[in-house]
């Protein structure tokens, strides 16, 4: 190659630099172009070798041409870098201007637990604090545990107190959580403190306060010298803690074959404040906590000596308590699968209006 063609090569390099620099879109890409055009392995290396082979009188002019071309390419790349940087700054600026802090934030709907589950967890926390274990039992239950072990033999009229779903295999859908009383006695013996939240089933006519599928929480405490006073104190603590306020209780005699004596603890209706509404059947009171002292026959069925141990049991209407707590007027809402009334449910926080 002669000196003329080397001058052409310099021109070609400048043109290449100009078109490649124009095409790059980032500073990083530009650095790669710079190193391929001006770096160690660039065509300028070959041109410098040629410089050495020239006669001394031509070296000065050719050296100046090479350095001039290099300087122009460098300037061109720097200019392109400045342009890229200011374009990036403009994009950031535009993005910052596009954010309007006065607009309301995006609404992200949050899920929550079902009201019955929320109350169940709250009750579990209270009883775990008091040393109770949490147990579960089968929803498809034997006639033995659902009735016989609870002092309700086949011919006992109390079988009609709870309308039962009988299954083809001779078992029942448990009508209450009480069968787990005897199951827990078999498992743990005495002394015993256990809590059993669970689903129950009854062949009922459905209305605002009756479902065929609902939840109860069974409580059972067996020890030396347990009395009905312990039971009433615990009932008051439980209902007041769940409602986050002092509740009014009404205590009246109740009959259940598996307790003696049996009592019914009612709570003043938190929906109408005791004035009377469809939820409390216009009585101002809601049946919430039937209970009593465990019948000796039930202790015997659980292989516990009734001469040595006494105990109390209760069967809290968990679904009804959740309705009271969240102001849900109709029990059917809880199983209907429509989330809107449940999301709208709020704990009642107003003062209790005495009935
Ligand atoms: C019983 O089920 C007894 N096993 C409770 C018990 C346990 C008594 C231990 C003594 C000792 P009862 O049938 O009353 O009792 O039901 C208990 C509670 O469950 C009621 O007070 C009520 O709050 C709730 N309940 C009963 N039937 C329904 C229903 N169909 N829908 C919603 N809740 C119900």
Which residue would you say has higher pLDDT here, 46 or 293?
A: 293
- Same domain? 89 vs 127: no
Which residue would you say has higher pLDDT here, 37 or 349?
A: 37
Number of neighbouring beta carbons within 10 Å of residue 257: 19
Q: What is the average pLDDT across 126-144?
A: 96
Per-residue confidence (pLDDT) for residue 278, from 0 to 100: 84
Question: pLDDT digits over 75-128, tens only?
Answer: 898 998 888 888 888 888 787 777 788 888 888 776 778 889 999 999 999 999
* 354 domain-assigned: no
Distance 288 CA to ligand 1 centre (A): 7
Quote the percentage of the chain above a pLDDT of 70: 95
Going by pLDDT thresholds of 50, 70 and 90, the confidence category of residue 272 is confident
Per-residue confidence (pLDDT) for residue 345, from 0 to 100: 60
Number of neighbouring beta carbons within 10 Å of residue 151: 20
- Same domain? 185 vs 76: no
- The Cα 50–Cα 227 span in angstroms is 113
Which residue, by CA, sits nearest to atom 19 of ligand 1? 317
Instruction: Evaluate whether 23 touches 32 at the Cβ level (below 8 Å).
Output: no
Per-residue confidence (pLDDT) for residue 38, from 0 to 100: 86
Q: What is the average pLDDT across 1-28?
A: 83
Among 70, 98, 126, where does a domain finish?
Answer: 98
User: To the nearest whole number, what is the mean pLDDT of the chain?
Assistant: 88
- Same domain? 222 vs 179: yes
**By residue range, what is the domain housing residue 73?**
3-98
Going by pLDDT thresholds of 50, 70 and 90, the confidence category of residue 344 is low
Which residue, by CA, sits nearest to atom 10 of ligand 1? 291
Instruction: Evaluate whether 354 touches 249 at the Cβ level (below 8 Å).
Output: no
Which residue would you say has higher pLDDT here, 70 or 263?
A: 263
Going by pLDDT thresholds of 50, 70 and 90, the confidence category of residue 3 is low
* 200 domain-assigned: yes
- Same domain? 264 vs 206: yes
* 355 domain-assigned: no
Give the number of domains in the chain: 2
Question: pLDDT digits over 170-188, tens only?
Answer: 999 999 999 999 999 999 9
* 166 domain-assigned: yes
CB of 319 within 6 A of ligand 1: the answer is: yes
Instruction: Evaluate whether 320 touches 268 at the Cβ level (below 8 Å).
Output: no
Distance 135 CA to ligand 1 centre (A): 18
Which residue would you say has higher pLDDT here, 50 or 240?
A: 240
CB of 295 within 6 A of ligand 1: the answer is: no
Task: Show the DSSP H helices in 304-355 as ranges.
Answer: 318-326, 332-335, 339-344
- Same domain? 271 vs 301: yes
- The Cα 297–Cα 285 span in angstroms is 32
- Same domain? 228 vs 281: yes
- Same domain? 48 vs 159: no
Instruction: Evaluate whether 2 touches 9 at the Cβ level (below 8 Å).
Output: no
- The Cα 170–Cα 107 span in angstroms is 52
* 251 domain-assigned: yes
- Same domain? 181 vs 327: yes
Confidence check: pLDDT of 223 > 80: yes
User: Directed axis angle between helix 27-38 and helix 56-98, to 10°?
Assistant: 170
* 351 domain-assigned: no
What is the position in ligand 1's atom list of the atom closest to the CA of 178? 4
Among 67, 98, 129, where does a domain finish?
Answer: 98
- Same domain? 12 vs 146: no
- Same domain? 214 vs 244: yes
Which residue would you say has higher pLDDT here, 352 or 58?
A: 58
Per-residue confidence (pLDDT) for residue 290, from 0 to 100: 96
- Same domain? 129 vs 206: yes
Which CATH number covers residue 247? Answer: 3.30.930.10
- Same domain? 140 vs 198: yes
Among 98, 124, 145, where does a domain finish?
Answer: 98
Choose one of 164, 208, 238, 317 to mutate for the ligand 1 pocket test, by most ligand atoms within 8 angstroms of C-beta: 317
Which residue would you say has higher pLDDT here, 309 or 268?
A: 309
């Amino acid at each position: 190659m002669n000196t003329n063609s080397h001058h052409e090569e310099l021109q070609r390099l400048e043109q290449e630099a100009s078109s490649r620099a124009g095409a790059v879109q980032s500073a990083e890409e530009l650095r790669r172009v710079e190193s391929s055009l001006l770096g160690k392995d660039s065509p300028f290396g070959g041109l410098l070798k040629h410089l050495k082979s020239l006669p001394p009188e031509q070296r000065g002019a050719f050296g100046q041409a090479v350095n001039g071309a290099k300087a122009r390419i460098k300037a061109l790349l720097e200019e392109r870098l400045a342009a890229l940087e200011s374009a990036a700054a403009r994009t950031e600026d535009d993005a910052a201007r596009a954010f309007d802090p006065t607009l309301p934030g995006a609404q992200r709907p949050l899920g929550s637990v079902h009201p019955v589950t929320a109350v169940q967890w709250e009750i579990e926390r209270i009883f775990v604090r008091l040393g109770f274990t949490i147990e579960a039992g089968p929803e498809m239950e034997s006639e033995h545990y659902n009735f016989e072990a609870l002092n309700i033999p086949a011919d006992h009229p109390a079988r009609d107190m709870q309308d039962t779903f009988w299954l083809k295999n001779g078992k029942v859908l448990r009508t209450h959580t009480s069968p787990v009383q005897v199951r827990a006695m078999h498992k743990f013996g005495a002394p015993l403190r256990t809590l059993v939240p669970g689903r129950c089933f009854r062949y009922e006519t459905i209305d605002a306060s009756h479902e065929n599928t609902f939840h109860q929480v069974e409580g059972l405490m067996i020890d030396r010298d347990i009395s009905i006073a312990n039971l009433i104190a615990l009932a008051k603590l439980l209902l007041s803690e769940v409602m986050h306020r002092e509740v009014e209780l009404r205590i009246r005699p109740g009959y259940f074959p598996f307790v003696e004596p049996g009592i019914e603890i009612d709570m003043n209706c938190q929906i109408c404040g005791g004035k009377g509404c469809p939820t409390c059947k216009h009585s101002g009171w809601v049946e919430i906590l039937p209970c009593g002292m465990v019948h000796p026959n039930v202790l015997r069925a659980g292989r516990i000596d009734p001469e040595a141990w006494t105990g109390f049991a209760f069967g809290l209407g968990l679904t009804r308590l959740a309705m009271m707590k969240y102001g849900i007027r109709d029990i059917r809402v809880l199983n209907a699968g429509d989330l809107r009334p449940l999301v709208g449910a709020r704990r009642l926080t107003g003062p209790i209006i005495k009935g």
